[in-house]
Amino acid sequence: MADPVLEVRGLTRRFGAFTAVSDLSFEIQSGEIFGFLGPNGAGKSTTIRMLCGILAPSAGEARALGRDLFTEADHLRAQMGYMSQKSSLLTDLTVAENLNFFGGLYGLEGAGLRSEVEFRLREMQVWEHRDLLVSALSTGERQRVALASATLHRPRILFLDEPTSGVDPLRRRLFWEAMDELVTEGMSILVTTHNLGEADQCDRLAFILGGKLMAYGRPRSLKEALGRQVIELRTERFRELQAAARRHPEVLAAELLGRSVRLSLPGSLEPKPLLNQLQLEGFVFEALPAEQPSLEDLFVDLVQRSRVA
């Protein structure tokens, strides 16, 4: 793989006594979709805002495309695109007017601007809406217009902050197809999400929680490194069994899945005594072999470990 397009070392941001982002280090390789996953308040937006030059870091370093992100920001601006969590589109202008406006900020003009606007709007499948006011668009359409406007200047690195929040699964897929298209053009993307299905589609992921990096790697290897087992118990009385299982301290999580209870247990635990105990408590169930943990399991596990710590 080529050199990283973005290298972050020890990035930290404090607000008074509160540390929102704590000593984050990660790299984004050329041509990858890098997922930033974490619950609300984890520090995702704060990190992106520092990397886009909107917010000064309290500590840490970052290099992008071989330059220092914080001291040579002016040279990098034209190479970076940013779509903020709250859309920056002007809702009382039309789609085309918005793109012309943002294109102008990037220094595009005349025929070059016109052709770039048409190319992006067609690519994002919103060309037919070009004369509509942004306020008349659906959330999914608005987000694709915002993506078009963030990429008009053909940046090398694109930061997308929860670009698909509030979008239905079909439109979400459309958005991810558009992202794949941009990667094909040579962009590298950092995208934040708290949607685990989306996280699974990323080339690599960083999980953050309370401003700290909890796990980092390919979705597959993160799941394998989880070090825990998942057992599915099929039963008639799934709600009662869930409640009973949760009373056992060795049970990390007990979630309902259809008419089954998915038990997450430490990888080292011999599950027999626990299952026997649940049977003694009067439950009749069928225990199905452990399967590969999902990212959701990982997420629940990390959140729980952080509560214990």
Ligand X SMILES: Nc1ncnc2c1ncn2[C@@H]1O[C@H](COP(=O)(O)OP(=O)(O)O)[C@@H](O)[C@H]1O
Query: Which spans of this chain sit near ligand X (rule: CB under 6 A)?
Result: 15, 20, 38, 40-46
Of residues 68-127, which lie at the interface with Mg ion (CB under 5 A)? Answer: 85
- Taking the complex as a whole, the smallest distance from the CB of residue 309 to ligand X amounts, in Å, to 18
- Taking the complex as a whole, the smallest distance from the CB of residue 202 to Mg ion amounts, in Å, to 17
- Please name the residue that has the structure tokens 């053909």: 154
Residue of 26, 38, 45, 116 that binds Mg ion (CB under 5 A): 45
Burial of residue 105, with CB atoms counted within 10 A of its CB: 0-12 exposed, 13-18 middle, 19 or more buried: exposed
Q: Which of 14, 171 has the CB closer to ligand X? A: 14
Q: With CB under 5 A as the rule, give the number of residues binding Mg ion.
A: 3
Q: DSSP assignment, residue 58?
A: S
Q: Which of 116, 162 has the CB closer to Mg ion? A: 162
Q: Which of 33, 191 has the CB closer to Mg ion? A: 191
Which amino acid, one-letter code, is at 144? R
Q: Record the tokens describing residue 26, joined without a space.
A: 């990660």
Q: Could you tell me how far CA 53 lies from the centroid of its own chain?
A: 20
Residue 26 pairs with which residues in a beta bridge? 8
- Taking the complex as a whole, the smallest distance from the CB of residue 73 to Mg ion amounts, in Å, to 21
Q: Which does 166 bind (CB under 5 to 8 A by kind): ligand X, Mg ion, none?
A: none
Q: Which does 140 bind (CB under 5 to 8 A by kind): ligand X, Mg ion, none?
A: none
For residues 10 and 22, what is the distance between their CA atoms, to the nearest angstrom?
Answer: 7
Q: Could you tell me how far CA 10 lies from the centroid of its own chain?
A: 20
Q: Which of 59, 288 has the CB closer to ligand X? A: 59
Burial of residue 67, with CB atoms counted within 10 A of its CB: 0-12 exposed, 13-18 middle, 19 or more buried: middle
Does position 164 bind Mg ion by CB under 5 A? no
- Please name the residue that has the structure tokens 């950092």: 190
Contact 187, 120 (CB under 8 A): no
- Taking the complex as a whole, the smallest distance from the CB of residue 18 to ligand X amounts, in Å, to 6
Q: Which of 57, 293 has the CB closer to ligand X? A: 57
Binding site for Mg ion (CB under 5 A): 44-45, 85
